[in-house]
Structure 1
Amino acid sequence: MTGIQHLQKVVVGIIIFLTICLCCVESQFPRVCTTEASFRTKSCCPLWKDKSPCGSLSGRGRCRSWITKQKIPQHDDDRLDWPRHYYDYTCECYGNYSGFDCGDCKFGYHGEKCDRKKMIIRREIRELSVVEQKRLFSYLALAKTTKSQDFVVLSTGDRHHRETYRFVDASLYDVFAWMHYYSMKPVMINSTFDPNKNYAHQGPAFPGWHRLGLLFLERQMQLMTGDEDFAIPYYDWRGEKNCSICTDELMGSNDAQGVLNPYSHFSFWKAICSGFNFPDEYCPLADAEYKMERLHRRPGTTPYAPNLPTFEDVENALKLKDFDTPPFNETSLRSFRNSLEGFLAPDGITLKRSLHNLVHIYLGGTMSQIPISGNDPIFILHHGFIDKIFDTWISRHNGSPETYPENNELGQGPDDCCTPYFPCYKNKDLIRKSTEFGYEYSPFHQKRPLGWKSLQ
């Protein structure tokens, strides 16, 4: 019996929902802040081990007021103006301390005082040894079956009615998948939904939001396993004629209907928030695993994306000097962000599916259902490579927080906090070299056309 098969048998993946009074606010993320007292005081400043809010007595942070922040008028979306819509007070951490209670360290730092800097290397999944690959899959299985102790997810029957809101237990990996789903639900303004607006896509926040998502999952898996060296791998799909990692030894093969082979590592996985994708609900069946869809994948079967992007596609996108351009959405031209996201061809002038979006569509199944695509672990490998391209652009064009443009896209301004992360991470602060977050990428030397260089 393999380690993963053993985990399947001995870990009970039961999700228990919390019944919580929701008389004051609509949703929240840290478990410790989903109490009646937190809602009543509109405060998410948990006590640290020194029994002070945000570890203030130990100099870790302070309880910050958001009351002076200018309220955005005429909106009723619970995610906009994060975290003001939820709480008037949250932790602001000092120095290298981080976390919703300042009890953790900034990315790349470890130790009780967060004074030990550590750099990890994210490698291409095919660079990993067999032992390293098995470790990765066992860690993912553990993340999928282990209830998160620190976080809960929001489930609603109707976003217009607070009495339908409740917080639900979920596994660590499902929390990660839920965060992507949650940020992608249509923006609600004056009780009307705009399907073309969300907080993680179709705007300048796209690369940074997904970078932060990978950092969150990577850090939580390090804490879960006690393995500080754990690094999320990436999948370099440039120029491939098919999905070479869609094998049972790696990410899983599938039949003609898209069902994963029962002998693959992820055949038992189900997708949280699947099945009912309505704009007026948040993950209504988050605690009903038996109603969730199994992962599906159908690489190369859609006529809209018969091929994966090429080496030339990536290199041409990297030549675009402007991080983003007006109107800062899916119609932006000569925009590196829009080309990387995949609404703009790498030539910078043709609006068509490319890069990030093209890979999602090519892989099909769960990955092609973008809101729930984070449920398929191939998502993190794909976005690892998207982040590597982003990091390459930052190095080549001296990208920095000052590069992030002023814009009017909801929740995507340079000083807006990424939704739904704690503490506040400003969108502009994600445009930094990966080494500032404690990781770097290996130069994967796969077979490639003569003259092409590895992304560095």
Structure 2
Amino acid sequence: MKLSHDVLEALLLALPYHNDVINVPEPEPCMAQGVMLNLILLLIFCLSAVDSQFPRVCTTEAAFLTKSCCPLWKDKSPCGSLSGRGRCRNWLTFTGKEVLQNDDRLDWPRHYYENTCECHGNFSGFDCGDCKFGLHGEKCERKKEIVRRELRELTFLEQKRLFSYLALAKTTKSRDFVILSTGDRFHRQTYRFVDASLYDVFVWMHYYSMKAILRNSTFDPNKNFAHQGPVFPGWHRLNLLFLERQIQLMTGDEDFAIPYYDWRGEKNCSICTDDLLGTNDAQGVLNPYSHFSFWKAVCSGFNFPDEYCPLADLEQKMERLHRKPGATPYAPNLPSFQDVENILKLSNFDTPPFNETSLLSFRNALEGFLSPDGVTLRRSMHNLVHIYLGGTMSQIPISSNDPIFIFHHSFVDKIFETWITRYDASPTLYPDNSEVGHGPEDCATPYFPCYKNRDLIHKSMTFGYQYSSFPLK
């Protein structure tokens, strides 16, 4: 019994969308059945293991066996090739890189997909059905530049709209992406895909990229694909752009922009009020009348290196958000105005050995392993804010569950943008290095299409946004 693509697509669309979990066995050939119900059940059962900010359409047995993620666009051609949007390209090349056994994120996404969409011109997306950041319209010819403003710069109605959008993102299941859950990274039979809200997909991308790298069957907790190296500012810039764009698409509001929280010189968390991010009690529990008091933290509770988000589908097992601003003696204060000015004096984007020990490195000082003086290795800047806020934010792998993460990182990106402008920086300043996943030509994990790490050193206007100059005293 052979079914056309259109019939298969119709059957899949007919499945109840509230089926939250797709169990992934070891790949086996699927046998067609004569009974429609059995066929539908088999279509669910035969989805195979692939992972990323995974396009749902690419989690089929055919995509896995052919190592191809080139979905059909509206014109019924792969990557919209008949409409000139893109083409399906084989990216398999010999890179000469160290071979890391077992780590599925290496040389992203070639562990799973050798063929993905290469989009032409202004088109983008895993199927070339979207536009590059900052572009809109059917032909992606309409430019729009949004302004990211300080959270307290927003009017009351703008703040309410922001929080309603975040609530919608937290409760709306993503129709395009699924997330990976495993009981054991060494055993593929434990892999399964789980439906998640749009916001939780965003959270999972950070969590997944931060998991320890697996080097020849040994975990290295000091290495990951989003931190402790040159990739840090660009990876988080892309992470915010993903969420911002998905909320624009979800709400139809092309003007939506992620605000920032300017924490320079603050004596306490001034946005931790019940009108904004929420107050908390001595145990760190958020006020039940605040916006995010009942949010659950996806991938919380179990932070073992050999698992990926094992309880992603069990909300009752997830922790609620917690926050304890200023409660730890290790971070009694937030960074100062002078701290920010000092790191902006560091003209080197990054320096050898391109990790948390790099000196005179703007990236390492911004990330916060290096003092703003450029020579003293101690917690500062980005890291210091995470520690100061405490609770969920201090658990870095799952920290993006707390929406204060996006406002904090938006300000980190503003500092990055100030540095880019001051030194007229370009992709040529991204250093050659041997850090796994941090090379200039490496694709940022786990994004579709491929965004090379070096290409994220551009002025923000390249991506369709800029920052306000909201002054704080």
- For this structure pair, what is the TM-score category when the shorter chain's length is used for normalisation? over 0.9
2:112 is equivalent to residue 108 of structure 1: no
1:407 paired residue number: 433
2:66 is equivalent to residue 62 of structure 1: no
Residue of 312, 316, 327 corresponding to 1:290: 316
1:88 paired residue number: 114
Q: Given that residues 22 and 39 in structure 1 are in contact (C-alpha distance below 8 angstroms), is that contact kept between their aligned partners in structure 2? A: no
Say which is worse superposed, 194-203 or 20-29, in terms of deviation. 20-29
Residue of 56, 59, 80 corresponding to 1:34: 59
CA distance in 1, matches of 2:19, 2:25: 19
2:239 is equivalent to residue 213 of structure 1: yes
Query: Alpha-carbon deviation of 1:446?
Result: 1.5
Query: Alpha-carbon deviation of 1:27?
Result: 2.3
Q: Helix, strand or coil: the match of 1:268?
A: coil
- Higher-Rg structure is 2
CA distance in 2, matches of 1:50, 1:333: 52
1:263 paired residue number: 289
TM-score under structure 1 normalisation?
A: 0.94
2:207 is equivalent to residue 181 of structure 1: yes
CA distance in 2, matches of 1:338, 1:117: 34
1:224 paired residue number: 250
Say which is worse superposed, 23-32 or 398-407, in terms of deviation. 23-32
Q: Given that residues 316 and 347 in structure 1 are in contact (C-alpha distance below 8 angstroms), is that contact kept between their aligned partners in structure 2? A: yes
2:152 is equivalent to residue 126 of structure 1: yes
1:196 paired residue number: 222
Residue of 1, 19, 25 corresponding to 2:23: 19
CA distance in 1, matches of 2:223, 2:238: 20
Matches within 5 A, 1:271-286: 271-286=297-312
**Cα displacement string for residues 121-149 of structure 1 (whole angstroms, at most 9, x for unaligned residues):** 00000000000000000000000000000
CA distance in 2, matches of 1:442, 1:15: 43
Q: Given that residues 351 and 358 in structure 2 are in contact (C-alpha distance below 8 angstroms), is that contact kept between their aligned partners in structure 1? A: yes
CA distance in 1, matches of 2:25, 2:126: 21
CA distance in 1, matches of 2:197, 2:472: 35
1:391 paired residue number: 417
Query: Alpha-carbon deviation of 1:17?
Result: 1.0
Would the alpha carbon gap of residues 366 and 122 (structure 1) be closer, same or farther in structure 2, given more than 3 Å must change? same
1:43 maps to a residue whose letter is: S
Query: Alpha-carbon deviation of 1:40?
Result: 1.1
**Cα displacement string for residues 209-265 of structure 1 (whole angstroms, at most 9, x for unaligned residues):** 000000000000000000000000000000000000000000000000000000000
1:327 paired residue number: 353
1:27 maps to a residue whose letter is: D
CA distance in 2, matches of 1:309, 1:424: 34
1:4 paired residue number: none
2:44 paired residue number: none
Matches within 5 A, 1:332-351: 332-351=358-377
**Cα displacement string for residues 282-335 of structure 1 (whole angstroms, at most 9, x for unaligned residues):** 000000001000000000000000000000000000000000000000000000
CA distance in 2, matches of 1:361, 1:313: 17
CA distance in 2, matches of 1:247, 1:117: 36
Give the unaligned 5+ runs of structure 1. Answer: 1-12, 448-456
CA distance in 1, matches of 2:137, 2:91: 30
Q: Given that residues 79 and 419 in structure 1 are in contact (C-alpha distance below 8 angstroms), is that contact kept between their aligned partners in structure 2? A: yes
Matches within 5 A, 1:1-20: 16-20=20-24
2:284 is equivalent to residue 245 of structure 1: no
CA distance in 2, matches of 1:102, 1:22: 30
Query: Alpha-carbon deviation of 1:105?
Result: 0.2
CA distance in 2, matches of 1:204, 1:40: 34
Q: Helix, strand or coil: the match of 2:89?
A: strand
Residue of 406, 411, 429 corresponding to 2:455: 429
Q: Given that residues 50 and 64 in structure 2 are in contact (C-alpha distance below 8 angstroms), is that contact kept between their aligned partners in structure 1? A: no
2:217 maps to a residue whose letter is: S
Instruction: Give the fraction of aligned pairs with identical amino acids, expressed as a percent.
Output: 78
1:7 paired residue number: none
CA distance in 2, matches of 1:339, 1:156: 34
CA distance in 1, matches of 2:463, 2:59: 29
CA distance in 2, matches of 1:190, 1:399: 36
| Aligned pairs, number | 435
Q: Helix, strand or coil: the match of 1:253?
A: coil
TM-score under structure 2 normalisation?
A: 0.91
Would the alpha carbon gap of residues 15 and 339 (structure 1) be closer, same or farther in structure 2, given more than 3 Å must change? farther
Q: Given that residues 15 and 170 in structure 1 are in contact (C-alpha distance below 8 angstroms), is that contact kept between their aligned partners in structure 2? A: no
Q: Given that residues 425 and 457 in structure 2 are in contact (C-alpha distance below 8 angstroms), is that contact kept between their aligned partners in structure 1? A: yes
Query: Alpha-carbon deviation of 1:18?
Result: 1.6
Q: Helix, strand or coil: the match of 1:188?
A: strand
1:317 paired residue number: 343
Q: Given that residues 50 and 59 in structure 2 are in contact (C-alpha distance below 8 angstroms), is that contact kept between their aligned partners in structure 1? A: no
Q: Helix, strand or coil: the match of 1:265?
A: coil
Q: Helix, strand or coil: the match of 2:177?
A: coil
CA distance in 1, matches of 2:321, 2:63: 36
Query: Alpha-carbon deviation of 1:192?
Result: 0.5
CA distance in 2, matches of 1:20, 1:35: 10
Give the RMSD, CA atoms, in angstroms: 1.2
Query: Alpha-carbon deviation of 1:30?
Result: 0.8
Query: Alpha-carbon deviation of 1:67?
Result: 1.9
Would the alpha carbon gap of residues 262 and 15 (structure 1) be closer, same or farther in structure 2, given more than 3 Å must change? farther
1:10 paired residue number: none
